[in-house]
Structure 1
Amino acid sequence: MKQLLIPAFALSLTTSPLAAQTDTPTPEEGFSLMEEGAQLLLRGLMSELEPAFDDLQDLATEMGPRMQMLTEQMGPAFAELLGQVDDFTRYHPPEFLPNGDIIMRRRDDAPDFEPELPREIEL
């Protein structure tokens, strides 16, 4: 029995590379298959994400006027605040006091800062 298995095994080893060579795609075919697979993957992702993009667009359309109004009203106040604070990394996080006030304490190691005060108007 062993004597029959050894030649059969040797014969199978010699024929398997021939079978593999006939099914091997050329480099051009290999790249086209990879490209096709990548396209299918991206199409699948886009079809999965399309509802989320639609929802995001609806939200942006709804919130757009509100955001514009917020920037028009809060923009000047925020610019004034930035003029009074030199660098936010030199401050501790804001603290909310029980009475509703919000304070930002300057860090101990921060250098002194003197904001530019508006000039007095002579009457």
Structure 2
Amino acid sequence: MKHLILIACLALPLPAVAQDEGDVEEGFSLIEEGAKLLFRGIITGMEPAIDDFAGLAQDLEPALDLLATEMGPALMELMQTLDSIRYYERPEILPNGDIIIRRSPDAPEYAPREAPGVIDL
């Protein structure tokens, strides 16, 4: 019985192990073409979102310029005043528009930084 199974297996046609070089090149070119089609599809699908983002950036440009010119120096001064932002709670906006930034209760005692260029005599 074992001999019959062995003979049957040997009689089956086996696929060729070695392939023509042309077949390999054709396979790579098909993969390359598939990748190109995939990327074209992705880009085509993203075009409306990219156009919307470009329009949003143009709309926000004046506001960002204003933020950089007017708020930038004030934010830098605030960051130099605080010893570490992690020692403070979220800013709180009061009904009159004032903004309060409270120090966390578990923060270490505040030690103000010395201003650069100031010499204590």
Residues paired across the two proteins, number: 110
Inter-partner Cα distance in structure 2 for 1:105 and 1:96: 11
How do residues 67-106 of structure 1 correspond to structure 2 at under 5 angstroms?
67-106=64-103
- Please say which of residues 106-115 and 81-90 is displaced more in the overlay: 106-115
How do residues 28-107 of structure 1 correspond to structure 2 at under 5 angstroms?
28-107=25-104
Q: Structure 2, unaligned stretches of length 5 or more?
A: 1-7
Say if 2:116 is the partner of 1:113: no
Q: Structure 1, unaligned stretches of length 5 or more?
A: 1-9
In the superposition, the TM-score normalised over structure 2's length comes to 0.66
Q: Paired residue for 2:12?
A: 14
In the superposition, the TM-score normalised over structure 1's length comes to 0.65
Percent of residue pairs identical: 45
Instruction: Give the RMSD, CA atoms, in angstroms.
Output: 3.5
* 2:88–2:102 contact (8 Å) kept in structure 1: yes
Bigger proportion of residues as helix: 1
* 2:83–2:110 contact (8 Å) kept in structure 1: no
